[in-house]
Amino acid sequence: MEYTMPNYTYITLRDMPQLMEQSANWFSSKWGVPTSAYIQCMQAYLCGETELGWYICLCDGHIVGGLGVIENDFHNRKDLAPNVCAVYTEKAHRGNGIAGKLLNMAVEDLRKKGISPVYLVTDHTNFYEMYGWEFFCMVDSADGLSRLYIHK
């Protein structure tokens, strides 16, 4: 039996602004944050009010992975910004490097714009380290005490 790797396309939302509403709905369905909150952040990015963007992986025109970058991802350390948020890959597509590619894409895009370091709140261990992230400190977040990572 032969396995063919899916054909993934990686974009920023600025590459395909027509995906804003679909992306906002997709992220909302994964994280339970209102669609309107995503729309507000995405519109600011699309209008050039911020360089903190949205990164999407498509497979056959469907969103299968994504993440965003916002000022603060619901934690008490407002000085540690910006933050990668809403990292998600559809279960059927996990293990294909999608999250890693999106993380690297976001970090490089921000670095080119003079934005570094970048932070990320998570309860995962070992995953983000594979992509150059380092544990920085513990923070109080919406979910209690969480791990905060840094990418320089």
pLDDT in tens, 126-140: 899 999 999 999 999
E-strand spans in 6-60? 8-12, 54-59
Looking up residue 144, the CATH number of its domain turns out to be: 3.40.630.30
pTM over 0.85? The answer is: yes
Tell whether 59 is covered by a domain: yes
In a domain, 2, yes or no: no
Residue 147 lies inside a defined structural domain of this protein: yes
| Domains of the chain: total | 1
| Residue located via tokens 């513990």 | 138
Q: Provide the domain limits for residue 32.
A: 8-151
Residue 3 lies in a domain: no
pLDDT digits (tens, 9 = 90+) for 84-96: 999 999 999 999 9
Residue 134 located in a structural domain:
yes
Please indicate, yes or no, if residue 1 is contained in any of the structural domains.
no
Q: Work out the angle at residue 45's Cα, subtended by the Cα atoms of residues 138 and 115, and round it to the nearest 5 degrees.
A: 50
Query: What's the CA gap between 70 and 73, in Å, rounded?
Result: 7
Integer-rounded Cα radius of gyration of the chain: 15
**With 60 as the cut, is the pLDDT of residue 107 above it?**
yes
According to the model, what pLDDT value does residue 5 have?
66
Which two tokens mark 33?
């944050």
Residue 73 lies in a domain: yes
